[in-house]
Amino acid sequence: MNDRSIVYLLFIALLLLCSAGCSESTGSQGEPVQIDAVSSADPERSGLLFINEFEGGHVYRTPSGIFLVLDLRGSWTEMGRQYGGLAGEDLRPFHDRIVADLTGRGVSADDQLAAAQDYYERLSPELKELLQGMSETSGLTMDEVLVLNAGMMLLTEAIFADQLPGLPDAATSGCIGIGVWDQYTEDGRVIFGRNWDIDRPSMKQYMEFLSVVVLHPDDGYAYANIHPLGNVYLETGMNSEGLFIELNNGAYSDPTEYMDRSDTASVLVDVLRESGSVPEAADMLKNIPADLSYILQIADPSEAVSLERGTFDARVRNPDDDGLVIAVNHFIPPYPPEWSSWIQPPLTEEEDPRYSNMLRLAQSDAYKGSFTPEVMKQLLEIPLEDGGAYHAGTVYQVVAVPGTRNLWLRACEYAGWEEVPLASLLG
């Protein structure tokens, strides 16, 4: 447990000792509400620490007080207002720090805002309403909300533009995913693990803002977005049906861009709202032309697949074995013959050993048939040089069990694994 966790738990204990069980708190730009004093007394949210409520939304912390968990309900504007009212005290320092960071890397305030506005224009109407609502209650202006939403993307671009000494090559620093089930797991259930990889030295300072935001829109399935606060686009998420999706950059294989097409991160939100199974999600994604090339891993309580979604075509790749799928940042051969003129050849094992490493580990006697969430965590932590995939670019890690709708998060060099029981929140 890190120092932040210890201090936070001492604070909880002090509140419980000094109060009669309830205290009055004022939401950001809202009326005072009676809340249970940072406890898990809310019976419907067992395992999470209840912090506050605002306009029908609720905020919790994970059991050790590490990560925020927001539970938002209503129209997209209403959910945005809840988001801002519940998280405004964290959104402000996150915004100010990442703006200063980008400015120090040579990205002017004007350039940050222009890029953020350009990205905003490509978002779905629903996500635009969510951001608008955040600006009404968070204490941030609309321009500041937009810059924060784009901040981690702008930082990624600045990191690779800087070509920092020792930085992992961009082609091998864009996430991995591994799904196991049937003969690979101890009890046959689906377990999925993912590393979110860019550059840990530059990004670990923002891991205190890593969060899980659960949204209950008026129509469609509820879904959870695992991302730093204020970033409403989706790269890792799960819905109330146990459908899990994670996104890997596929630009190495297909660097083409179509900025007039639907933004993939917005599309993934729609997929989680509208799809209840892997086949439904895969069909939806294959039928929407891609703006950029991505490798999308989709899992539900029964199976997992890797969908290679280029800008020219998309396919669900054959699994790596019965009950095993592994994805990195290039498409895996063999390809359909008609793809040969569209994509670059895959990286060799010497250039990017992550796929081969994960395949060897998963199929070894030590892992095959033994996977549990704990074992998946151990696998994800094995360093690249020791035959794993964890390296200097790994920023945070996620393990998901779609059948129980449970997640575990690890923010590398900030906090160890923390369980996020989502079943009661997703409903």
Q: Which helix (H) or strand (E) holds 32?
A: strand 32-36
Q: What CA–CA distance (Å, rounded) separates 54 from 76?
A: 15
Q: Determine how many CB atoms are found less than 10 A away from the CB of residue 333.
A: 11
Contacts of 292 (CB under 8 A, 6+ apart): 250, 251, 257, 258, 264, 311
pLDDT, position 239: 98
For residue range 328-376, list pLDDT tens digits in order: 999 999 999 999 999 999 889 999 999 999 999 999 999 999 999 999 9
Rounded CA gap, 315 and 253, in Å?
14
C-alpha distance across the termini of the chain, in Å:
30
pLDDT digits (tens, 9 = 90+) for 7-59: 344 334 433 333 333 333 333 333 323 333 333 334 346 689 999 999 999 99
Domain ranges (residues) in the chain: 3-71, 75-162, 170-200+244-268+278-426
SS3 assignment for 327-344:
ECCCCCCCCCHHHCCCCC
* Closest-CA residue to 221 (of 197, 237, 198, 201): 237
Residue 69's Cβ-count burial label (10 Å; 0-12, 13-18, 19+) is: buried
* CATH number of the 170-200+244-268+278-426 domain: 3.60.60.10
Please write the tens of the pLDDT for every residue from 268-300. 999 999 999 999 999 999 999 999 999 999 999
pTM here?
0.89
Convert the pLDDT of each residue in 64-102 to its tens digit.
999 999 999 999 999 999 999 999 999 999 999 999 999
Contact present, 151 and 96 (Cβ < 8 Å):
no
Q: What is the largest CA-CA distance in the chain?
A: 70
Neighbouring residues of 364: CB distance < 8 A, sequence distance ≥ 6: none
How many residues are recorded in the chain? 427
Q: What confidence score (pLDDT) does residue 174 get?
A: 75
